Amino acid sequence: MGGIIRLTARGAVAWIARAFVALALIGWAGTASAAMYIGAGLTEVKAEDRAVVAHPQPVQLLFVFQTKGAPNAAATKFVKQMVTDTVKASGAFSEVSDAPTSNGAILSVVINNVVAPKDMSDAEGKGVLVGATFFIAGTNVVDHYIGSVDFVGGPTSPKISKSAQQILITQIGLINSAPQNAVKVGGIKPALAALVNQIVGNPLNDVAKDPGFQMADNAGAAASTAAAAPTTAAAPPVTPTSAALTPTASPTMAPPAEEHH
Amino acid sequence: MTALRALIAVAGCLTLAACAEAPLPPPEATLDNIQAVRAGNLPPLRVGAFTAAPGKPTEMDKSVAVRAGVQPAPGGSFAKYLGDTLAADLKGAGKLDDSSTLVISGLVTETHLDSAMQSPHAALAAKFTLIRGGVTVFEKVLRVESSWDGDFMGAVAIPDAFNHYTGLFPKLAAALFADPDFQAAAHPR
């Protein structure tokens, strides 16, 4: 019995040692040979295309990162600041905060890392090939993302929803060719920053251009003016009419990049 | 995720993959739950004690395990995490009031996570109690569950399972906020 326990303990130590070596190798590989590309079909919002918001109002920002539709708390924490920066840079809001705002406006952003089952099995096969050849044989692995932006201008306002899709391509191994229809973006952090900028910035711009958003914008400005000058006539309701509702999303599709082996 | 799978397969050629889960960050409010609070026109609430139900194994409140992976409960208690989830949503809706005499509390009666390849699933249930001025005005057990596609690779299946499990907390909060009996009990008579 004691022998078994000692053998198991030695096995565990050996296993941990192998795990450390593997992680070190992955870390090295990630630094030395992994490159990131982003789909060329979707770009960041150009200055001339940016929605003009005459009277930006404060908004409460909610964000969730999902993996295959399930909330991924760790990734949410990692990406949240990037999303906040993108929303602030849009100029669509006077203030962006986690807390409720006086007008009750909420902007909800969801980024979902979706995977087709075929991509999963392909990825595994490619990974085995790269590992078996000690990073000599290279491959490109595609991750798909859907960015959804929902906005409500107040407690009883209709929801405006827009979305966009984008891909990130991870190139691993030494011998590889650049994927087509994709732009090189460096390592994982700049890739994520570019992804967030595009996949949140574009649907957010679509939201800001929506007639329902513009009505909420105008009503919010009127309410602010009335609040600043209480002796004037009553402010109009801050809730836009349902006629301004845009209930369905109009996804901005990014064409898939070709994979090279 | 796909890239992660490829890297895991690379690692698999060299050794077994280790599985360690990072601590969960505090829960975030969701638009659906805030909208549910708004739709129910709930008055300001205080979040009371959330604990594991008496007689339940204390281990189920401290961590969940899937294959070789262990997800510790934030703050040492998944029941408390449920209370924190409710508080995050109520705060996000502007309806969290620590001085309110209307108090919601709960006992977690079931927490289950199974990453079996053929049918991975998770479930979470709690007995919620709403007390107004010391009088119980609502008491009900609510249960939510989730199932998803399995994966034989532990390093993919384990975080998948934990993501779906933690996703049950806002889902259970949503079930409470949308419950017509809860909404009726929350309003002053």
Local structure of residue A231 (DSSP, 8 states) = T
What is the pTM assigned to this prediction? 0.77
Task: Report CB contact under 8 Å: A23, B2.
Answer: no
Task: Report CB contact under 8 Å: B25, A74.
Answer: yes
d(CA A187, CA A54): 37
- CA A67 remoteness from chain centre: 11
* Token pair of B20 as six digits: 């360690």
- Residue to test with chain B: of A62, A66, A142, A169, most B Cβ within 10 A: A62
d(CA A160, CA A246): 5
Residue A16 has pLDDT above 50, yes or no: no
- Residue to test with chain A: of B4, B21, B24, B31, most A Cβ within 10 A: B31
Task: Report CB contact under 8 Å: B30, A22.
Answer: no
Task: Report CB contact under 8 Å: A62, B14.
Answer: no
Of A16, A62, A126, nearest to B28 by CB-CB distance is: A62
DSSP string, A159-211: EEEEEEEEEEEEEESSB--PPTTEEEEESHHHHHHHHHHHHHHHHHHHHHHSH
Which of A 144-203 lie inside 8 A of B, CB atoms? 144, 150, 152, 155-156, 168, 170, 172
Q: Confidence class of residue A141 from pLDDT cuts 50, 70 and 90?
A: confident
Task: Report CB contact under 8 Å: A123, B94.
Answer: no
Which of A 82-111 lie inside 8 A of B, CB atoms? 98-100, 104, 106, 108
Q: What is the pLDDT of residue A214?
A: 80
Of A68, A100, A126, nearest to B92 by CB-CB distance is: A100
Of A62, A71, A125, nearest to B167 by CB-CB distance is: A71
* Token pair of A205 as six digits: 């711009």
pLDDT greater at residue A225 or residue B33: B33
Q: Confidence class of residue A230 from pLDDT cuts 50, 70 and 90?
A: very low
Q: Which residues of B touch A77 (CB under 8 A)?
A: 25
Q: Confidence class of residue B115 from pLDDT cuts 50, 70 and 90?
A: confident
Q: Tens digits of per-residue pLDDT, B133-150?
A: 999 999 999 999 999 988
Mean pLDDT of chain A: 74
| Mean pLDDT (whole number) for A168-192 | 83
Judge whether A72 is closer than 8 Å to chain B, CB to CB. yes
B135 CA: distance to closest CA in chain A (Å): 30
Contacts of A213 (CB under 8 A, 6+ apart): A92, A151, A153, A160, A207
Task: Report CB contact under 8 Å: A68, B93.
Answer: no
Residue A87 has pLDDT above 80, yes or no: yes
SS3 A260: coil
Tokens 């008496």 found at: B54
Judge whether B20 is closer than 8 Å to chain A, CB to CB. no
Task: Report CB contact under 8 Å: A108, B153.
Answer: no
Q: Which residues of B touch A139 (CB under 8 A)?
A: 6
d(CA B149, CA B121): 9
Judge whether A259 is closer than 8 Å to chain B, CB to CB. no
| Mean pLDDT (whole number) for A113-127 | 61
Residue A106 has pLDDT above 80, yes or no: yes
Query: Looking at this predicted complex, what is its ipTM?
Result: 0.85
Neighbours of A205 (CB within 10 A): 22
Q: What is the pLDDT of residue A175?
A: 62
Instruction: Give the dihedral of Cα atoms A239, A242, A243, A245; nearest 10 deg.
Output: 90
d(CA A27, CA A8): 28
Of B9, B18, B29, nearest to A128 by CB-CB distance is: B9
A235 CA: distance to closest CA in chain B (Å): 22
Mean pLDDT of chain B: 88
| Mean pLDDT (whole number) for B94-108 | 97
Instruction: Give the dihedral of Cα atoms B84, B86, B88, B89; nearest 10 deg.
Output: 170
Cβ-Cβ pairs closer than 8 A, A with B, add up to: 150
Q: Specify whether the CB–CB gap between B146 and B171 falls below 8 A.
A: yes
